[in-house]
Structure 1
């Protein structure tokens, strides 16, 4: 695959808001290398097992572990007793073996005695029911009582281990928001009222933003504000109120994280801090574009999506992670060696996927590969979650795969992969957490919208067209790209629209999807026709005006449930009824055929191309299948014409510095795929067959991966 020239790396807005990048050292001679290991829970096992753990870690080339994530009850067995002895001993054993420790604040799960002593820290659900202890995160982020106990634990850990050379990083909490994202307690209500007052300043501003004139929801003071509790039956929550509550939940957990971090940093300021995000296209609970500003290095927990989208979804999620990291190295804090136990379908990994998935993360910019967990639990809720040492022990395919991966990561470390940057694409698909949250509202024309899934589908369509796109937060700077794509970016502020219009006016290309820009950041619909965001500026840029939405679905018995376009493409969910097109716009495709006529859309523009300033805007006014998107990209010239792109069955990425380049080739198909034009020294190859008589060609099999290394000079870089 021919790699694109590097675009300008996206940066946070404003850059000064971000903490300086700091990466945890390993206990190697240089402190460098790709980090490899996983969550380690020695407190689940008798101490006689620990030496065997250390032996197996050394054998697998493990060089780091995350320690103590769920160990609060072991560290503080009762309110007035502390037991650090076991933690001292295991940190000592790990450090002596050369295994670095990412030490947790241990606050993810409180001990049962704390819940018994202070039941007021328990969250409540939207029905008013107490969320009882026994799982993770059964505490209120806004509870002053819980915070007091949690920060005391943080300070004690910092005082005891801040100077320990084996502890090279701090791991705050764990997957914040997994169980307490939305809390409807009295503490939360009081905090939400304060949050609203800080955001809006006056109650009149809040009433305007929430549109409280509808359904007689006007409030006279911030003390009258309520949470979006269950309101009976299928009652619909005020969408602006619900969105603000979702924003509030994000901010309260971020504030709690910062309080933990700051408590430890006051004692131990010289080691980096992180917390593990949860970025995959099945979960997007936090606004990680904001969270990324508050960590020293970005880390993520990623679990594969079963089925044919497995590798594509991984690459899409990783593309967003690399943007959060601003092109700096990032950390895979958790993924799985094989099956998990928490999905409706817990598929295991096929042969080669343990290695392939791990190196795919490296190919997308990660410099750390860690699993949950080291040793598979004998009991508890995650006993059937795969691990590096499975129930079958070291004489197992999984552990042998873990050892093979350790060797491959050592090879990549020795070759100099660590610290190299991922080469950018020319295209950025824009991601917006608040637009994803907005699609959760039960007040939209369709309940089947998903911004994140549309990002994934467009990402996969680019792969199908033989190109790789980046995925970048809407809030970041994407001006270095040639093309931006906005799939179901439902919510756009006036400032967002102005930035996009300026991008196009200055020579960029924007592809805008069918459900983009329908509401502003207050969940107000823009008037004058669709899409209404930006006071009409988005319509002007696109050269279109719509009046209604046509929504299809199998629920309407006897009605057409799909509509074809004049170019042969098909739409099955949503069609915008575009009633006017700018004189200088060109209609790429219209709705056509008997089903379009039945819905009174025959001849209505579906895809429109419009010059704007020095650039162009492309409006895709209906949902399209992935294959149709890939075809559209080629027909519009966003990617090369058919036959000029690389085999779409291969994902090709480049990581590089001023002196070295690494090419990663991953097979995303079930076929053996021939790859030609390979340059450099082959340093890692799994399921790769050399081509007969050719030094620059090979065939990569299913779940195969090839990594090559080439020395370069500044003048030879493209």
Structure 2
């Protein structure tokens, strides 16, 4: 693992410099100058204490090449500072001015078909362009020099959502840098040929100058999967390198002000290897937009669980989320009553000490005019603005109560996530194109909630074995190196429980398939841990490409002997170790049709002082939750933090002071209907859409009713 930058949190302009940060992106350059005073009045009324400024303002800062104008920005920052509102100042490089593209069209990205990506949106530039880098770093240095001593600017917002529009670039600049990247990674051309398996389809290269990008090859031609996986890594590394160049240009001038960049972690987008990126920021921040539908809160909690791990136990920053609907999805659902507060405090419940939105004032023109904001088109006399003000008051209450700086208590279980595995499951040469590692992480996370437990989500690359977890779950971790497998086996040998999913460990980090049977990762060590060996995959699905799980004359699903159902992928386990216990097998007519009747589907195998549990087929989250209950997870196992959290319709987290003297319990209702939660301890700090049913019992606990979208926060101070 690489070394991390020391944690530095941006100060507020409060007397102590502390408090939960609250605000959002502020774009005064979209408005007449006289609007700023009214904005600040309304910000103060809403308890806003920080804004992210100048994210897309390059053309206003440098309207003509080399002519920098800071007067307008100075005036805005001065007014904000006098109002006690801190500024997270952007490097402003996310969207370049049109004059730069006109002067230097060679900075524009190229898609896999050879088409130039035209300007007019965000990030219409190549991360590998030396010309663009020269202009961007000059802007960074000019900003840093100008604001290095400005007390209102307390942090730097470097770039914005790296990779949103230029994650994949197939330009000649990218080709040049990809060849250099490959040479650094492999050292010799023989090592690259071995890693990419170039003996297949006559792809041998004689030197790094023959290495190509995986551009469009015509028709439905399949890309070499090892080459494609390295191109994914390269794109991540090039953008990370660009971020570090911007950061270093700023910190060489402003070393005392912390830097961050906003990640994009939700279970519908996680395009970078943020386990690497987290080491390069002074504090971790994220943009999260809710997933509409019944998974809304669960998806938020799953994404936040990964963010909490990326922060290594330190507080993290919500840089953007939405007050209500966005405008960039096919279905732009608004938030229901209570969800603005509930979602925001849910982030706090998972370790966030900053709650910010895109954006402060809703735009009247441009691509995001219908994206909700803190101050909507309807103005201050609106439900949204009143909700924002209510949220600001709640965050001040939590700040005064001492929540800021407390640590999220870890769960007993870690679900492992890996960016390489997510990239690999997108490959079009796998047995099924319907795999998704990140979605499987989400389904397992929700299954633990359904079982009355909570799991953490942690990168595979981290030292999860040293965090005291009793169980690790490997959902579709398709690519595992030999070193990864040894760590996993050592965890089980030392007493841990390892739960391995159906598409885990099929290839190594080079996209090479292990031999001797499945899962082949680790030269058979993963099979040894699990006590099983599979020979083939049985894939269900349509033959017309619809992906609806049906095919004329073929079974659409297979039942297990315990009543569970698999609909996509079944491993044909042909042998088991003598001490392997079969917990469920394929059974019934559909299983017989596919010659799987009686074949092991779910197994348990002792290994050292621990055990390996193998889930040899896909199961939906309800079946996973049932399996977890049967295997001793959830309320019956004591895996939850206390009895009050055992209700599977409640998400319960704990944040506590470093010495353990002060603890904050957060309870969130997952259900659509009201529910009663008994046994709640502590002084109520926030009771949003909930109420105590009775006076405290002799035990000191209270039962509460939690309405839909409720959140309850209590504080307990240890005596003595």
Shared fold, TM over 0.5: yes
2:552 and 2:35 mapped to 1: Cα distance?
62
1:195 and 1:477 mapped to 2: Cα distance?
27
1:122 and 1:559 mapped to 2: Cα distance?
49
Aligned-pair distance for 1:682?
Answer: 0.6
- TM score, norm. by length of structure 1: 0.97
Aligned-pair distance for 1:104?
Answer: 0.3
Aligned-pair distance for 1:641?
Answer: 3.9
1:338 and 1:545 mapped to 2: Cα distance?
49
Aligned-pair distance for 1:82?
Answer: 1.6
| Most deviating of 635-644 and 354-363 | 635-644
Residue among 593, 599, 616 paired with 2:594: 599
> Does the CA-based 8 Å contact 2:635-2:646 persist in structure 1?
no
2:471 counterpart residue number: 483
Aligned-pair distance for 1:642?
Answer: 9.4
1:425 and 1:207 mapped to 2: Cα distance?
43
> Does the CA-based 8 Å contact 2:634-2:646 persist in structure 1?
no
Give the 3-state SS of the residue equivalent to 2:268 in structure 1: coil
Which structure 2 residues correspond to residues 116-155 of structure 1 after superposition, within 5 A? Answer: 116-155=102-141
> Does the CA-based 8 Å contact 2:23-2:357 persist in structure 1?
yes
Structure 2: any 5+ residue segments left out of the alignment?
544-550
Which structure 2 residues correspond to residues 516-595 of structure 1 after superposition, within 5 A? Answer: 516-555=504-543, 556-595=551-590
Which structure 2 residues correspond to residues 320-359 of structure 1 after superposition, within 5 A? Answer: 320-359=306-345
CA deviation profile, 1:263-283 (whole Å, cap 9, x unmatched)? 011111001000000000000
Aligned-pair distance for 1:290?
Answer: 0.2
> Does the CA-based 8 Å contact 1:635-1:641 persist in structure 2?
no
1:40 counterpart residue number: 26
Aligned-pair distance for 1:673?
Answer: 1.0
1:440 and 1:625 mapped to 2: Cα distance?
20
Aligned-pair distance for 1:584?
Answer: 0.6
Correspondence 1:708 to 2:707: no
CA deviation profile, 1:357-381 (whole Å, cap 9, x unmatched)? 0000000000000000000001000
1:558 and 1:71 mapped to 2: Cα distance?
60
Aligned-pair distance for 1:478?
Answer: 1.2
Residue among 641, 663, 681 paired with 1:679: 681
Correspondence 1:511 to 2:499: yes
2:651 counterpart residue number: 651
CA RMSD of aligned residues (A): 1.1
1:557 and 1:84 mapped to 2: Cα distance?
67
> Does the CA-based 8 Å contact 2:8-2:283 persist in structure 1?
yes
1:78 and 1:266 mapped to 2: Cα distance?
26
Residue among 496, 514, 518 paired with 2:484: 496
Give the 3-state SS of the residue equivalent to 1:126 in structure 2: coil
2:199 counterpart residue number: 213
Give the 3-state SS of the residue equivalent to 1:677 in structure 2: strand
Aligned-pair distance for 1:80?
Answer: 2.9
Which structure 2 residues correspond to residues 595-634 of structure 1 after superposition, within 5 A? Answer: 595-634=590-629
> Does the CA-based 8 Å contact 1:388-1:399 persist in structure 2?
yes
Correspondence 1:165 to 2:151: yes
> Does the CA-based 8 Å contact 2:451-2:633 persist in structure 1?
no
Give the 3-state SS of the residue equivalent to 1:50 in structure 2: helix
1:270 and 1:319 mapped to 2: Cα distance?
29
Give the 3-state SS of the residue equivalent to 1:676 in structure 2: strand
Aligned-pair distance for 1:250?
Answer: 0.1
Residue among 432, 440, 446 paired with 2:432: 446
Residue among 195, 204, 210 paired with 1:224: 210
| Most deviating of 692-701 and 453-462 | 692-701
CA deviation profile, 1:564-584 (whole Å, cap 9, x unmatched)? 000000000000000000001
Aligned-pair distance for 1:416?
Answer: 0.1
2:480 and 2:64 mapped to 1: Cα distance?
50
1:217 and 1:638 mapped to 2: Cα distance?
49
Structure 1: any 5+ residue segments left out of the alignment?
1-12
> Does the CA-based 8 Å contact 1:181-1:249 persist in structure 2?
yes
Aligned-pair distance for 1:293?
Answer: 0.2
Correspondence 1:304 to 2:317: no
Correspondence 1:279 to 2:265: yes
Where relative contact order (Cα < 8 A, 6+ residues apart) is larger, the structure is 1
2:401 and 2:689 mapped to 1: Cα distance?
20
CA deviation profile, 1:189-213 (whole Å, cap 9, x unmatched)? 0000000000000000000000000
Aligned-pair distance for 1:693?
Answer: 5.0
> Does the CA-based 8 Å contact 1:653-1:663 persist in structure 2?
yes
1:47 and 1:152 mapped to 2: Cα distance?
27
1:3 counterpart residue number: none
Give the 3-state SS of the residue equivalent to 2:313 in structure 1: coil
1:694 and 1:654 mapped to 2: Cα distance?
21
The alignment covers a number of residue pairs equal to 700
Correspondence 1:691 to 2:697: no
Aligned-pair distance for 1:694?
Answer: 4.9
2:289 and 2:449 mapped to 1: Cα distance?
21
2:669 and 2:320 mapped to 1: Cα distance?
23
1:4 counterpart residue number: none
> Does the CA-based 8 Å contact 1:586-1:608 persist in structure 2?
yes
Give the 3-state SS of the residue equivalent to 2:34 in structure 1: helix
> Does the CA-based 8 Å contact 1:274-1:295 persist in structure 2?
yes
Aligned-pair distance for 1:393?
Answer: 0.3
1:682 and 1:633 mapped to 2: Cα distance?
32
CA deviation profile, 1:91-112 (whole Å, cap 9, x unmatched)? 0000000000000000000000
> Does the CA-based 8 Å contact 2:453-2:633 persist in structure 1?
no
2:36 counterpart residue number: 50
